[in-house]
């Protein structure tokens, strides 16, 4: 059994335990709510009989452990209850809104890696000289404002003053694209509409950059810090003594081992974007899960709140497992080891 596979099994085991914990936590949060969930569901004009009926239907008259049991069985069957806000099954709402958020988060994640790592390499190669200082100030600035501030600034500059990008939405209304996956970048290609695909990318740029900025800063800072440490290792000195080109040393010898410790944090940052998407979606009127989440929270729509948090936690765990596997795969010590990795 390969060690990468063993790590996958171990991670899945831990994730199941964590998911059980998350379900308890979400259940606990939902039960501290002041007031009677049945009355909240029915509104102020309900009669006592109606409240009693729905209490039975929601299992609220049973012991708390039994209530938790019902909650878990329902979740495992994919039944997250009905949303009071949309009057539809929460599962259906999530299937509708999650792809838009995921698409945004994935693009932001790609930007974070594509811009953050090279900036970090640049700073480490020229450490204690001006490129390093510039990158340090830039990265500190990007992590110093919440993504909604960046979203507003980017919108102001690149949508209002220089009308280069659209102000809101995922796609121009004039396109009619059949929904297959919910990911518009994929659906437009399936439909064979390349012009629509470009329009979707055009809409993605500003929200994705706003969401990615602080992650870009984090990734660059970490890469720099780890690479500076690697640069002090004897094998780098040897490579320099051999006269290898500085660029080659940076990319092939100093960067690769530094990537592994950075990746864990990059994974966490990636996952944190699921939270920050709440802010960016609000600014750019992005029809994703976060807008749904805020709407249901303001209406105290319990089923929808629990379902949304659960799905986000699940996505978060999946992203972290993927990152762990990537690390295991990139690290030759784990990839080639035959003993159990600890």
Partner 1 sequence: MTRALRILASNPLSLIGLILVSGIVLAALLAPWIAPFPTHNSAVIDFAHANQAPTARNWMGTDLVGRDIFSRILYAYRISLGLGIVVLVIATPIGTVVGLLAGYLGGWTESVLMRLVDVFLSIPPLVLAIAVLGVLEPTLTNAMIAVTVMWWPWYARLVYSIARSEREEGYVLAAEVIGAPTPHIVFREILPNCLPAIITKMTLDMGFVIIIASSLSFLGLGVQPPTPDLGSMVAEGARYLPDSLWMTVFPGLAILLAVFGFNLLGDGLREVLGVDE
Residues in touch with partner 1 (CB under 8 A) = 14, 17-19, 21-22, 24-26, 29-30, 32-34, 136-137, 140-141, 143-146, 148-149, 152-153, 155-156, 160-161, 221-222, 225, 271-276, 278-279, 282-283, 293-294, 296-298, 300, 302, 305, 309, 312-313, 316-317, 320
**Cβ-based nearer residue to partner 1, 177 or 297:** 297
Residue 280: CB minimum distance to partner 1, A: 11
Residue 38: CB minimum distance to partner 1, A: 15
**Cβ-based nearer residue to partner 1, 20 or 340:** 20
Q: Which residues make Cβ contacts (< 8 Å) with residue 166, sequence separation at least 6? A: 159, 172, 202, 203, 206
End-to-end CA distance of the chain: 15
**Cβ-based nearer residue to partner 1, 197 or 231:** 231
Q: What is the DSSP string of 66-118?
A: HHHHHHHHHHHTT---B-TTTSSBHHHHHHHHHHHHHHHHHHHHHHHHHHHHH
Residue 232: CB minimum distance to partner 1, A: 14
**Cβ-based nearer residue to partner 1, 231 or 278:** 278
Q: What are phi and psi of 43, to 5 degrees?
A: 90, 170
Are 156 and 211 in contact, with CB atoms under 8 Å apart? no
Residue 175: CB minimum distance to partner 1, A: 26
Q: What are phi and psi of 89, to 5 degrees?
A: -60, 135
Q: Which residues make Cβ contacts (< 8 Å) with residue 44, sequence separation at least 6? A: none
- Across 138-160, b (16+ Cβ under 10 Å) vs e yields ebeebeeeebbebbbebbeebbe
Q: Cα–chain-centroid distance for residue 158?
A: 24
**Cβ-based nearer residue to partner 1, 46 or 149:** 149
Residue 152: CB minimum distance to partner 1, A: 6
**Cβ-based nearer residue to partner 1, 10 or 193:** 10
Residue 70: CB minimum distance to partner 1, A: 19
């Amino acid at each position: 059994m390969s060690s990468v596979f063993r790590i996958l099994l171990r991670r899945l085991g831990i994730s199941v335990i964590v998911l059980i914990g998350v379900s308890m936590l979400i259940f606990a949060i939902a039960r501290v709510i002041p007031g009677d969930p049945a009355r909240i569901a029915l509104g102020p004009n309900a009669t006592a009989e109606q409240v009693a009926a729905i209490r039975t239907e929601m299992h609220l008259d049973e012991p708390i452990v039994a209530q938790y049991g019902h909650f878990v069985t329902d979740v495992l069957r994919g039944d997250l209850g009905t949303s009071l806000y949309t009057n539809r099954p929460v599962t259906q709402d999530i299937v509708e809104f999650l792809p838009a958020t995921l698409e945004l988060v994935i693009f932001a994640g790609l930007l974070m890696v594509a811009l953050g790592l090279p900036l970090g390499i640049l700073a480490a190669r020229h450490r204690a000289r001006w490129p390093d200082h510039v990158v340090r100030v830039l990265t500190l600035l990007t992590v110093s404002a919440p993504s909604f501030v960046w979203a507003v600034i980017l919108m102001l500059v690149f949508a209002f003053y220089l009308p280069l990008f659209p102000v809101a939405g995922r796609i121009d209304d004039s396109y009619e694209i059949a929904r297959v996956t919910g990911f518009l970048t994929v659906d437009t290609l399936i439909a064979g509409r390349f012009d629509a695909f470009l329009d979707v990318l055009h809409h993605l740029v500003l929200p994705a950059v706003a969401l990615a900025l602080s992650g870009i800063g984090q990734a660059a800072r970490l890469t720099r810090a780890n690479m500076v440490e690697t640069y002090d290792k004897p094998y780098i000195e040897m490579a320099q003594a051999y006269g290898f080109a500085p660029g080659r040393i940076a990319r092939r010898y100093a960067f690769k081992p530094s990537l592994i410790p950075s990746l864990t944090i990059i994974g966490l940052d990636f996952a944190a974007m699921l939270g920050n998407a709440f802010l960016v979606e609000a600014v750019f009127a992005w029809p994703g899960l976060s807008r749904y989440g805020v709407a249901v929270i303001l209406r105290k729509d319990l089923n929808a709140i629990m379902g949304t948090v659960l799905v986000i936690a699940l996505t978060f765990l999946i992203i972290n497992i993927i990152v762990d596997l990537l690390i295991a795969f990139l690290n030759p010590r784990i990839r080639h080891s035959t003993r159990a990795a600890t």
